[in-house]
Structure 1
Amino acid sequence: MSASATPGSPSTPALPPAAADHGARTGFWALTLGSVGVVYGDIGTSPLYALKESLHAASGGHGPTREMVFGVVSLILWALILIVTLKYVLIVMRADNDGEGGTPSLVALAQRAIGRTGGPVIVLGMVGVALFYGDAIITPAISVLSAVEGLKLVTPAFEPYVVPLGLAILIGLFAVQSHGTARVATFFGPITALWFTIMALGGLGHIADDPGILAAFNPGYGVAFLIGHGTAGLLALGAVFLAVTGAEALYADMGHFGRGPIRTAWFGLVLPALALNYLGQGAMLLAHPERIENPFFLLYPSWALLPMVLLATVATVIASQAVITGTFSITQQAMQLGLLPRMRVQRTSETEKGQIYIPRVNGWLLVAVVFLVVMFRSSSALAAAYGIAVTGDMVITACLIFVVAWKVWRWSPALAALVIAPFLLIELVFLSANALKLLHGGWVPLTIGAALVTAMWTWRRGSALIAAEIHRRRLPLSEFTRMAETGSVQRVPGTAVFPTGTPGDTPGALMHNVKHNRVLHAHNVILNVVTEDLPRLPDAERVTVRRLSDAFSCVSVRFGFMEIPDLPRALAAAGFDAGSLSYFLTRRILVASPETGMPVWQDRLYIAMARTATDASRYFRIPVDRAVEIGARIAI
């Protein structure tokens, strides 16, 4: 096959089909390996504590019986099959919002399908985001502590150093966040793949202790255990759910790796390794019930304990890193969707769009994680707090995916309910089981979630009230432009940009500029920034210009909810001379008022949040020396 080329011009020959296929395969397997580290880091550390905590809950601290071991292992295996494999890998990952996943992305997808008036969808999204934060705070604490606790098996002399060493690792982890994860991420995949391989070998080597454990694949053992153990069975069920923590990452990280590599990693390595490890722990406990103290590490010979503790610590740091990075991404999406105030977002990679760092969020997470470690001091104590955040988040996902299946995939309501309801029922049972731990740590994620939902609802409601008040005060833009062009206002050269959230109204900064300075620029741009329900937009579709007159233009700049807004860059790409633009911004001075639509305490909460928000010029990347701020007093 020959390629034609224009005479005198260089031509690049097409790759042979075999080479192109090889390149595609190489990229696919690289993504698959990367997904092992980033996507499955959290669920890959669950064997450190899931079976141990489940059997402790079932036995009340006494030695586990054979019936308990079979029942709990069966429940863990079927949780992995039903919740992770069927729900997330095969169903939820179909909800592709232009390649992106995660709770805010799912909210945007559902809201776009039913229209922007979908209040219940927004509320579900707020609760889901809030519970994700609870999960993100507990995951680093419980994961790192559970790994470091393995040192006590090497020698009891290490016990006093478990908490200080765990705190040192966590503080170091948060301290390096500002440098980005691009370089470290290169090692995530291979190290985590090694972790899963060693987990599988450790479990496989002990199945021979009692091969009868393979019968745990029969779900009847799990059902019989629940029926026969009453409250203890429910307590154990709450701990069983620790085995599927991290399942949300499959969907949240879909945009980074793609559906195919994530599914391949799950079926090809992660699920077999987890199943073998849990079966091996179960078989070992059937033969040696006294090893219930820490069955994961006791799968390995004494000479391998210290290396395994070190590898487990690295694996838990990787799992924590993935959750922290996910929190930055979720926060950025929530800001773009109007659920949180603006915060400074830093890019930590010139090539990877998802590599971002939010200093304020990083600081809050560090303080919260350190508080939990100091307060609970062990992974067992933290386990009670963990389940509620995860199960609650999964229940929210099930509700949202029902909306997507019905409205986006065009399933009939009956079919959508038939498919989703069983998962929702199972997760509600898990949620009820975890609710029994409310007084033993379960209150932590609920308190965090309630505070965050209140903050997000206040921010959304307050922003709507301010927008309505601003609209009430201002002249229609068409009326103002007519008055300005027929009046005797002095004209000065240059282009002035007036950002506004209500493009049909005259921006406050423009009105005050004419009123107090008595000048009007030769060209005035009324700029409206719109956040779309899509993750990203191509540059060709970003800017729309509508000419009102020789002196006035309306410009709409659109960003996806995964993008960091950069107004000068967007305007330059649209043909504006970014270096000659002057930006006139309105700085609002907010005052609490009992006459508005919110209680005074909520007004004050909104004002406090607004004061912490990053100013508009910084958030939209507007050069400081080209920004002019004009104050406006607004009662809320």
Structure 2
Amino acid sequence: MASIGTAENKSPRKHLPIQCLTALGIVFGDIGTSPLYTFKTILGMTPETPDGSVILGALSLVIWTLFVITTVKYISFAMRVDNDGEGGILALMSLLGVKKRRRRGVVAIGLFGAALIYGDGAITPAISVLSALEGLTIVTPAVQPYIVPTAVAILLALFAIQSQGTARIGHAFGPVMFVWFMTMALMGIAGIVQHPVVIAALDPRYGLRYLLSNGISGFLILGGVFLCVTGAEALYADMGHFGKRPIRLAWLAIVFPCLILNYAGQAAIVLDGAPPDGNIFYSLCPQPLLIPLVVLATMATIIASQSIITGAFSMTRQAILLGWLPRLRIKQTSSEGFGQIYVGVVNYLLMFVTIGLTIGFAKSDNLAAAYGIAVSLTMLITSALLFIAMREIWGWPPIAAGTVAAFFLIIDGAFFLANLTKVTEGGYVPLLLAVAVYAVMWIWHRGAVAVTAQAQESLTPIPVFLAKILADGIPRVPGTAVFLTRTTQDTPPLMAWHVRHNRALHEKLFVLRVESLPVPWVAGSERIAVREIAPNFWRADARYGFMERPDIPNLLRASASRGYAVDLEDVTYYVGHETLVGRNDGGGLPGWQVALFTVLERNAVHVSDFLSLPSDQVVEIGRRISI
């Protein structure tokens, strides 16, 4: 396999316009649909009818939140920290918590940040689709009882098509989102023309004055303001798909200006007399064009939801290969891109939660109360990890790194504290989901480490094992046996068990340990390391990154060119099937953890499927392991 370079190397300049257009559909769907509900949520949180100072203050806070969080923090800082071209909180955690230096604390908070994304990811499709469809009530209030059923039908269809892949319709995502952003900009300009004074909100003093003069209510409104940047994490997480340049250009040239224009237009029509308690976004639209706008908004929210689902699939695969989630069945839905995958368990869990939230909360205003708390905590964690990156990767002195990190931490901390008030209003939903995902990660990893440690106990040195084979007259049968093992040295327990019970051993032996590294890609020259430890007895270490899919037959085929000829038609793969029990000596894992890990192991995809082994050449050996 050829070495795969960083995302920047995969993004030639001549394709930059096409990549920017594609990024509009994949990266900016979530943050690009936030104007549907953000400004009306902010004004709905004000204790009294908003006057000019409140409206301009709220707009100023939105503009500068978009600038500081997205443009400064993510575009200018976070995207400069990549793990061999890949971004996102799991890639950052792997870089700082494992690759650079092994730190349990960094790994723990990084994993919890990833788990939080699952929590808010279930809310995004529900609030986006509901907010788009609610525009129909402006045309005729009689459709109100049909909003929720229609939203549920759209979401069910969206989740149902995931197993078929989205490669074909994905080509239309970019153009649709381009039309969406241009439409928002034109609507915003039309609103600004009605009340040009909103341009004054570019002055940050309006936002600061509002925060400082309205006490606790001014601070709590930050929970609504934060909705304008939900989805900003996607700019960093999707960096590996497009590279830094297309994402930065798309944000600075299209998305950021269009969002500011639309938010300013919404503020302008409220200043001009539009009711602040209505759907402000749709109030910008001329009545004859309202139905086409609702259709376009619905398409945009479906694209935003698709991006969230695809992101959840990708993050799940990363966590599996890093050893933090059980092996799940992953289906490649297209040969056009590695990111086109389908994870059935994740899809149906997200569908169940999203549909439940849609029915339970019924209105986008109600969902807004639960939205943002998990993302704000994820952003707070990202800022903490950025401080470590500034010190260790960029080599900044403590004062410089501390000053910049403190600036981000104070802002993120303020948004998180303001969002804490949402816990009792529904914010507990994403938090509970995050805790559940984190618990699965933690228990799975502890169990896997315990199994590996037990496998390393009481190993027989290979010279001793081979001498015993010869002394006992164990026959050597034709063919090659490939033993999959967790051990790093000596005789694999599977091989010893096989000889003890079957009283025979193949002529050629290939012991293979598969290792997942905290990097996204592994170069072809570093894919496998093979050493001959005895005549016709090889031991190999196969290495894969967290963005790769293990394929052992292809790996063995490639190793033939290095002199380790393996006839794939005459290979038998031996894999273990462990029966897990608690230890009798009082050591090991607590009983409840053993029980939960056993359930996870029993429902995980079989290792032979995970490693792409041909089923008719696999022999499964059952063993009892005490952990």
TM-score w.r.t. the length of structure 1 is 0.94
1:102 Cα deviation from its structure 2 partner: 1.3
Q: Secondary structure at the match of 1:64?
A: coil
Q: Distance in 2 between matches of 1:347 and 1:208?
A: 49
Deviations 1:318-371 (A, max 9, x none): 001011101110000000111101011111111311111111111111111111
Matches within 5 A, 1:43-54: 43-54=31-42
CA 1:486 to 1:548, structure 2 compared with 1: closer, same or farther past 3 Å? Answer: farther
1:467 Cα deviation from its structure 2 partner: 1.4
Q: 2:416 aligns with which of 410, 431, 441?
A: 431
Q: More displaced, 535-544 or 293-302?
A: 535-544
Matches within 5 A, 1:234-245: 234-245=219-230
Q: Secondary structure at the match of 1:426?
A: helix
Q: Distance in 2 between matches of 1:473 and 1:274?
A: 63
Q: 1:30 aligns with which of 15, 18, 43?
A: 18
Q: Secondary structure at the match of 2:194?
A: coil
Q: 1:188 aligns with which of 152, 173, 181?
A: 173
Asked if 1:565 corresponds to 2:553, the answer is no
Q: Which runs of 5+ in 1 are unaligned?
A: 1-22
Deviations 1:290-315 (A, max 9, x none): 14311001101111111111100000
CA 1:379 to 1:478, structure 2 compared with 1: closer, same or farther past 3 Å? Answer: farther
Matches within 5 A, 1:76-115: 76-115=62-101
Q: Secondary structure at the match of 1:386?
A: coil
1:178 Cα deviation from its structure 2 partner: 1.2
Q: Distance in 1 between matches of 2:376 and 2:220?
A: 14
Aligned to 1:525: 510
Q: Distance in 2 between matches of 1:287 and 1:353?
A: 50
Aligned to 1:14: none
Structure 1 contact 93–259 (Cα < 8 Å) conserved = yes
Q: Distance in 1 between matches of 2:501 and 2:396?
A: 59
Q: Distance in 1 between matches of 2:543 and 2:296?
A: 45
Asked if 1:623 corresponds to 2:623, the answer is no
Q: More displaced, 599-608 or 329-338?
A: 599-608
Aligned to 2:598: 607
Q: Distance in 2 between matches of 1:294 and 1:535?
A: 43
Deviations 1:405-430 (A, max 9, x none): 21122222332222222011100100
Q: 1:516 aligns with which of 478, 501, 505?
A: 501
Runs (4+) of structure 1 exceeding 6 A deviation are none
How many pairs align?
611
Matches within 5 A, 1:569-608: 569-575=554-560, 576-593=566-583, 595-608=586-599
Asked if 1:66 corresponds to 2:52, the answer is yes
Q: What letter is aligned with 1:587? A: H
CA 1:72 to 1:558, structure 2 compared with 1: closer, same or farther past 3 Å? Answer: same
Structure 2 contact 483–492 (Cα < 8 Å) conserved = yes
Q: Distance in 2 between matches of 1:495 and 1:201?
A: 68
Q: Distance in 2 between matches of 1:399 and 1:477?
A: 47
Structure 2 contact 44–276 (Cα < 8 Å) conserved = no
1:492 Cα deviation from its structure 2 partner: 0.4
1:212 Cα deviation from its structure 2 partner: 1.3
Structure 2 contact 132–298 (Cα < 8 Å) conserved = yes
Q: Distance in 2 between matches of 1:44 and 1:604?
A: 44
CA 1:478 to 1:123, structure 2 compared with 1: closer, same or farther past 3 Å? Answer: farther
Matches within 5 A, 1:104-503: 104-115=90-101, 117-503=102-488
Aligned to 1:12: none
Q: What letter is aligned with 2:20? A: T
Q: Secondary structure at the match of 2:221?
A: helix
Q: Distance in 1 between matches of 2:356 and 2:334?
A: 31
Structure 2 contact 582–588 (Cα < 8 Å) conserved = no
Q: Secondary structure at the match of 2:456?
A: helix
CA 1:471 to 1:113, structure 2 compared with 1: closer, same or farther past 3 Å? Answer: closer
Deviations 1:497-539 (A, max 9, x none): 1111112142222111100001111011110101112211233
Deviations 1:543-568 (A, max 9, x none): 11100111321011111110111111
Q: What letter is aligned with 1:584? A: Y
Q: What letter is aligned with 1:553? A: W
Q: Secondary structure at the match of 2:50?
A: coil
Q: Distance in 2 between matches of 1:500 and 1:412?
A: 44
1:259 Cα deviation from its structure 2 partner: 0.4
1:113 Cα deviation from its structure 2 partner: 4.9
Structure 1 contact 67–225 (Cα < 8 Å) conserved = yes
Structure 2 contact 98–107 (Cα < 8 Å) conserved = no
Q: Secondary structure at the match of 1:529?
A: strand
CA 1:505 to 1:343, structure 2 compared with 1: closer, same or farther past 3 Å? Answer: farther
CA 1:478 to 1:321, structure 2 compared with 1: closer, same or farther past 3 Å? Answer: farther
Q: Which runs of 5+ in 2 are unaligned?
A: 1-10, 561-565
Asked if 1:536 corresponds to 2:526, the answer is no
Q: Distance in 2 between matches of 1:126 and 1:380?
A: 30
Q: What letter is aligned with 2:71? A: T
Structure 1 contact 199–274 (Cα < 8 Å) conserved = yes
Structure 1 contact 113–408 (Cα < 8 Å) conserved = no
1:89 Cα deviation from its structure 2 partner: 0.6
1:485 Cα deviation from its structure 2 partner: 4.6
Asked if 1:554 corresponds to 2:544, the answer is no
Q: What letter is aligned with 1:107? A: M
Q: Distance in 2 between matches of 1:479 and 1:409?
A: 50
Q: CA RMSD in A?
A: 1.5
Deviations 1:202-229 (A, max 9, x none): 0111112221111111111111212222
Q: More displaced, 282-291 or 120-129?
A: 282-291
Q: Give % identity.
A: 45
Structure 1 contact 53–380 (Cα < 8 Å) conserved = yes
Q: Distance in 1 between matches of 2:137 and 2:469?
A: 78
Q: Distance in 2 between matches of 1:251 and 1:148?
A: 29
Deviations 1:223-254 (A, max 9, x none): 12122222322331101100001101101111
Deviations 1:432-478 (A, max 9, x none): 00001110011111111111111111111111112112212433445
Q: Distance in 2 between matches of 1:26 and 1:179?
A: 31
TM-score w.r.t. the length of structure 2 is 0.95
Q: 2:623 aligns with which of 609, 615, 632?
A: 632
Q: Distance in 2 between matches of 1:477 and 1:186?
A: 55
Q: Distance in 2 between matches of 1:150 and 1:183?
A: 29
1:48 Cα deviation from its structure 2 partner: 0.3
Deviations 1:28-79 (A, max 9, x none): 11001111111111100000001110111123xx532222111111110010
